[in-house]
Amino acid sequence: MASVNALVITGYGTNCHEESAYALRTAGAENADIVYFSDLAAGHVRMDDYNFLLCPGGFLDGDDLGAAQAAALRWRWSTSKDGTPVLDQLKTFFDNGGLILGICNGFQLLCKLGLLPAVGEKYFERQVSLSYNDSGRFEDRWVTLKTNPASPCVFTKDIEYMEVPIRHGEGKIIPMDDATLETIVNNNLHAVQYVDPETREPTQEYPYNPNGSPLGIAGLTDPTGRILGLMPHPEAYNHKTNHPSWTRGTNPDFPLGLAMLEAGVNHLKTQ
């Protein structure tokens, strides 16, 4: 059984790295190192020592230039002291079977790097972006999610519904064009959707869909299923007492958000 050695990237405004690393360890990862991107870029740490990459939430660079835009440029142009571009390390990491999870700001980063949705397996070519919520304000609430059973995503395996918190101001998915959205749907790359908690069907209705994302899309995967990005925070629901209704016993019998991280860890351990 393979060991899971996780890398959690922080720095430049990221603020969810501690709970992300904790959630990974709770999910069964043998190791979860919190590493500043600057140390990765300097060559003090190398990605080939890991098999699970988590890009957590936060406010990268204060969301200047647009959410995660500056960070995407940093990933594209940083080169370590030995002359190895960080992006080459990332490509090798993925080609060697590594898993990548991007949460909130991390999802925005993966989209702007072109790792998601990678329609037609065109990696590192931007096909979608994320823009301001239709409400025009920062949304901080719990949402109900439905996973797509036809999706290849390894992180959503055996999960049907979840309740998890969201906290973002730029979460609306904007495809490059209508054809891109159609291809995403036809290939089941829409891994997670916001749903009405009563009907449990994907919705555009606010506040169940907190940002107005088309088709209620809350998260995307790539054609291999080894990359997932989503706006909600599964790592923030790692114990039953995190749920606002736990003392009243009114929360649905859904799995913890931790189940997504556990699915990723179990995938690596069975390879």
Residues classed as catalytic: 104, 233, 235
Helices (H) and strands (E) counted in the chain, each on its own, are 7, 11
Give, rounded to a whole angstrom, the gap between the first and last alpha carbons of the chain: 7
Q: Which residue shows structure tokens 């599964």?
A: 234
Position 264: which residue type? G
Q: What is the rounded CA–CA span in Å between residue 109 and residue 185?
A: 21
Instruction: Indicate if the alpha-carbon torsion angle 14, 18, 19, 21 is positive or negative.
Output: positive
Position 140: which residue type? D
Residue 97 zone, left/alpha/beta (φ > 0; ψ -120 to 50; rest): left
Q: What is the rounded CA–CA span in Å between residue 161 and residue 123?
A: 29
The burial class, CB within 10 Å (0-12 / 13-18 / 19+), for 247 is: exposed
**Tokens (6 digits) for 113:** 């790097």
Rg (CA), the chain: 17
